[in-house]
Amino acid sequence: MHISSTRRTVLKSTGAMATLLSLGIVTAEQAHAAGRAGFDAKTLDE
C-alpha cells in the first residue's frame, strides 16, 4: 500500500515536471520563431 502511494506521488511530480518542461520548450520555440520573424521583416525592409 505504501509503495503504490509513493509511486503515485512520483508520477504526479514527474507529470508536473514534464508539464513545466513542455511549457518551457513551447515558450522557447515561440520566442525563437518571433525573433526569426522580426529578423526576416528587418531583412525584407532593407
Q: What pLDDT, in 10s, does the model give residues 1-46? A: 567 788 888 888 899 999 999 999 989 998 888 888 887 777 666 5
Q: What is the pLDDT of residue 1?
A: 59
Q: In angstroms, what CA-CA distances link 46 with 13, 41, 42?
A: 50, 9, 7
pLDDT of amino acid 27:
92
Q: What share of the chain is helix, strand, coil (3-state, %, to 5)?
A: 95, 0, 5
Q: How far apart, in whole angstroms, are the C-alpha atoms of residue 39 and residue 42?
A: 5
Q: Is the pTM of this model over 0.75?
A: no
The HSE-up count of residue 16 (CA atoms within 13 Å, CB side) is: 6
pLDDT at 46: 58
Look at residue 37 in the predicted model and tell me its pLDDT. 80
Predicted local distance difference test score (pLDDT) of residue 34: 84
